Amino acid sequence: MTPIIDTGHGYNTPGKRSEGFYDTKGRVLLKENSVNEAVGNKLSFLFWQNCLEAHFITNEWYDVSLKDRCSIENKIAKYIKSKSGDPVFISIHADAFHVKNKAKGGTFFYNSERGKVIAEKMTNYFRNNGYGLSLRDPKKANFKVLRDTNSPAILFEMGFMTTQSDLEKLLSDEFRNKTALLLYEAIINL
């Protein structure tokens, strides 16, 4: 399948950060955008390296609304289908919880039946191939980017920025590489 990669939020989207975890100068340790984009870019690199097609919703230089993300997706999906391709929408995120050090692990979310099948396959693949964090069972969610996109769609919350042990992983390049590699392998095996 051909991925349409969404990296979730613009650089300065308010509130999307590792609240409660700061460096010595008082700066927040992680903005969600930076880990989403790092993994998304690595994922698209793997497709490029293997001469396969991958698309981005946006480069995230500006804040793009959910509505616009969906309409961009619809256009890209139409283009892929016009060439007899099979698009899959994947939105990459890092989660936050209002209580520090409480919630852990990743989750694949879906809305449609096809999305559910993909979320289940992805979860199994990640569990069986050494993803660095625990994975919850796939969960149905009424997110706009899952509902109003044309392709079968999943949204992946990689882990929690608001939990120390998850945050350390999300900040590590090794973990980001591994996550992108697992996403790549899972997608090409769909």
Q: How far is the CB of 92 from Zn ion (least distance, A)?
A: 8
For Zn ion, the closer CB: 78 or 102: 102
Task: State both tokens at 114.
Answer: 């096809």
For Zn ion, the closer CB: 31 or 93: 93
Q: Which stretch binds Zn ion (CB under 5 A): 19-27, 73-81, 86-94, 159-167?
A: 86-94
The answer to whether residue 69 forms part of the interface with Zn ion (CB under 5 A) is no
Residue from 8, 40, 106, 159 in contact with Zn ion (CB under 5 A): 8
For Zn ion, the closer CB: 80 or 111: 111
Q: How far is the CB of 96 from Zn ion (least distance, A)?
A: 8
Q: How far is the CB of 116 from Zn ion (least distance, A)?
A: 21
Q: Which three-class secondary structure string do you get for the chain?
A: CEEEEECCCCCCCCCCECCCCECCCCCECCEHHHHHHHHHHHHHHHHHHCCCCCEECCCCCCCCCHHHHHHHHHHHHHHHHHCCCCEEEEEEEEECCCCCCCCCCEEEEECCHHHHHHHHHHHHHHHHCCCCCCECCCEECCCHHHHCCCCCEEEEEEEECCCHHHHHHHHCHHHHHHHHHHHHHHHHCC
Residues between 114 and 133 with contacts to Zn ion, criterion CB under 5 A: none
Q: How far is the CB of 57 from Zn ion (least distance, A)?
A: 13
Residue nearest to Zn ion (CB): 93
The answer to whether residue 87 forms part of the interface with Zn ion (CB under 5 A) is no
List residues near Zn ion by CB under 5 A.
8, 93
